Amino acid sequence: MPDGGPAVEVDGLTKRFGDVEAVRGIDFAVRPGEIFGFLGPNGAGKSTTINMLCTLLRPSDGSARVAGFDVVRERDDVRRNIGLVFQDPTLDGYLSGEQNLRFHAELYGVPRSVTADRIRQVLEMVNLWDRRGDLAQTYSGGMKRRLEIARGLLHSPRVLFLDEPTVGLDPQTRASIWEYIRHLQSAEEITIFMTTHYMDEAEYCDRIAIIDSGRIVALDTPEALKAGVGEDRIRIQTADDETVIAALKDRFGLEAVVSEGAVTFSVASGEAFVPRLFAELSVPIKSVNVARPSLDDVFMSFTGTTIRDAEASASEGMRMAMRAKGR
Ligand SMILES: Nc1ncnc2c1ncn2[C@@H]1O[C@H](COP(=O)(O)OP(=O)(O)OP(=O)(O)O)[C@@H](O)[C@H]1O
């Protein structure tokens, strides 16, 4: 990677699968040493982007450089300089943790003279040194993911790609995986490019790009994105959502939607607004919640939906397509 150059540089990157334009001309650059997150609902184009950056998929258009190398013209150089941890585990269950790493070291041409030390180093980093002799199939879900992270680091990559590194893990294990990721950033001077659809995880990233339907709709630090929303979010559960939405529009000029079972809208100062609203409404209120902007609100302000609603409608669409196919 040229000194001071970006760790990942993407320019007009596009991927089409037949009629589906999964990634629609995206641009961004990741600085060396950054934890950069790609946040978006299922189907937004996150995996397709990561697969192009890792040279597993050829872009339809545009270009990308990883660790200074072009993902199409310099594939082998890119591959030597990246580590991968994907959603689906690819460990060999019949090998021990240590054997899995040894196998990978050979595959990546890690010099024999340093292999043993390096294996010890990465296994200690993810707290698996004591369990190195056990078969990988006897590891818990969190241990397997930690072993995969260790494996992804073995050949000292410049950029580590993590595709949904904590998906399917319990909150405690997710937190501990994150501890390792943050530790890595300082210990290995590595750039981390990760995808997630967990809002709380995106908060750990130095910067995040929000991707929706193949386009980057926002890119900044989590703090700056939240500050950009500015307004508080109010959620009200009522006996008659339609009347409340109409009242908000007529009397206060506010646009509200029903999201995740509550009438949801944004105002500049929530605490001051709620008493005024209550004085005006004749509809019974079951609950009210006022919250400072979160990444959820950022997502909503750029896409008009919450990430969970977007995923629910994506899976509903898929169910309908499956049903139609089955007919
Ligand atoms: N090999 C393929 N052939 C056809 N369409 C594809 C292919 N891979 C992905 N797509 C489509 O491209 C779009 C983006 O998919 P992608 O997997 O990149 O999304 P994602 O954001 O990573 O979601 P997830 O978190 O569910 O993996 C989707 O509409 C998907 O159906």
pLDDT value of residue 128:
92
Are residues 95 and 202 both part of a single domain?
yes
Burial 57-83 (b: 16+ CB within 10 A, else e): bebeebebbbbbbebeebeebbbebbb
209-258 pLDDT per residue, tens: 999 999 999 999 998 898 887 778 889 998 888 988 998 899 888 899 88
Give the percent of the chain with pLDDT over 70. Answer: 94
Rounded Cα distance, 102 and 99, in Å: 5
Contacts of 247 (CB under 8 A, 6+ apart): 280, 281, 283
Q: Output the CA 297–ligand 1 centroid distance in Å.
A: 24
Please check whether residues 148 and 257 belong to one and the same domain.
no
Domain count, the chain: 2
CA of 59 to the centre of ligand 1 (A): 14
Looking at the fold, whether 143 and 276 belong to one and the same domain comes out as no
Are 128 and 97 in contact by the 8 Å Cβ rule? The answer is: yes
Asked if residue 257 and residue 179 are part of one domain, the reply reads no
82-86, 127-131, 177-181, 257-261: which range is least confident on average? 177-181
Is residue 40 in contact with ligand 1, taking CB distance under 6 Å?
A: yes
**Residue 327 predicted with pLDDT over 50:** no
The answer to the question of residue 314 being in a domain is no
pTM of the model: 0.80
Residue 310 lies in a domain: no
With respect to residue 2, please indicate whether it lies within any of the assigned structural domains.
no
Q: Tell whether 189 and 263 lie within a shared domain.
A: no
The ipTM estimated for the assembled molecules is 0.94
70-127 pLDDT per residue, tens: 999 999 999 999 999 887 778 889 999 999 999 999 988 889 999 999 999 889 888 8
List strand residue ranges (DSSP E) for 201-284, in order.
Answer: 207-212, 215-220, 232-238, 257-259, 262-267
Looking at the structure, do residues 78 and 148 belong to the same domain, yes or no? Answer: yes
User: What CATH number should be reported for the domain holding residue 255?
Assistant: 3.30.70
Domain check: are 129 and 161 in the same one? yes
Least confident of 11-20, 82-91, 112-121, 169-178: 169-178
Same domain, 244 and 181: no
- Report yes or no on 96 lying in a domain: yes
Q: Are 274 and 207 within one domain?
A: no
Q: How far apart are CA 180 and CA 153, in angstroms?
A: 12
Q: Are residues 41 and 180 in the same domain?
A: yes
- Let me know whether 93 and 235 are in one domain: no
Gap between the Cα atoms of 263 and 255, Å rounded:
10
Nearest-CA neighbor of 267 among 285, 243, 288, 283?
288
- Which residue has its alpha carbon closest to ligand 1 atom 26? 42
Indicate if ligand 1 lies below 6 Å from the C-beta of 94. Answer: no
**Helices 171-187 & 112-125 angle (0-180, nearest 10):** 130
What's the pLDDT at 145? Answer: 87
| Closest ligand 1 atom to Cα of 41 | 21
- Candidate from 23, 24, 26, 47 with most ligand 1 atoms within 8 A of CB, to mutate: 47
Same domain, 56 and 149: yes
pLDDT tens, position by position, 43-69: 889 999 999 999 999 999 999 999 999
Q: For residue 301, report the distance from its CA to the centre of ligand 1, in Å.
A: 24
Task: Please state, in angstroms and rounded to a whole number, the distance separating the CA atoms of residues 82 and 153.
Answer: 9
Please give the Cα distance from 198 to 177 (Å, whole number).
14
176 within a domain of the structure (yes/no) = yes
Please state the atom number of ligand 1 nearest to the C-alpha of residue 44. 21
- 45 ligand 1 Cβ < 6 A: yes
Q: Can you give the residue range of the structural domain that contains 41?
A: 8-221
